[in-house]
């Protein structure tokens, strides 16, 4: 799909709540499958002789808790590593922490990612 070649997706986000039918583990698997397909697509639009090492941020929201993870393409495997607490929506301070983190991520997307 051509638009994804010109402006690929930079950040994945998945939300999960404790509703019946989907476990937290299932939601994490969905996020891993999605980011794997994005990174494999990025491989196809880069120089095949020397594909770059790519790391993309992922946001996983479970109820009120926001986590930042990173997916790294090692060339031979894709690994989701490191989890950082972004904040939570239980209190105003947590909301401001999330907002700050989203602004930092947006700055990365508008800067180095492009």
pTM: 0.79
Q: Which two tokens stand for residue 16?
A: 């999960």
Q: Which residues of 38-69 are buried (b: 16+ CB within 10 A; e: fewer)?
A: bbeebeeeeeeeeeeebebbbbbbbeebbbbb
For the chain, the domains span 4-110
pLDDT tens string 38-58: 888 887 777 666 666 788 899
- pLDDT category at 7 given cuts 50, 70, 90 is low
- Pick 16 or 88 by higher pLDDT: 88
DSSP readout, 7-40? S----EEEEE-S-TT--HHHHHHHHHHHHHHHHH
Mean pLDDT within 59-69: 92
For residue 12, the model assigns a pLDDT of 82
- Pick 32 or 92 by higher pLDDT: 92
């Amino acid at each position: 799909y051509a638009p994804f070649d010109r402006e690929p997706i930079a950040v994945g986000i998945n939300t999960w709540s404790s509703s019946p039918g989907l476990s937290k583990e299932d939601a994490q698997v969905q996020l891993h499958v999605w980011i794997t397909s994005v990174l494999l697509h990025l491989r196809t639009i880069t120089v095949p002789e020397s594909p770059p090492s790519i790391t993309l941020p992922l946001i996983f929201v479970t109820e009120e808790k926001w986590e930042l993870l990173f997916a790294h393409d090692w060339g031979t495997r894709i690994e989701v590593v490191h989890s950082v607490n972004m904040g939570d929506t239980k209190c105003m301070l947590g909301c401001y922490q999330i907002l700050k983190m989203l602004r930092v991520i947006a700055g990365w997307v508008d800067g180095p990612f492009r």
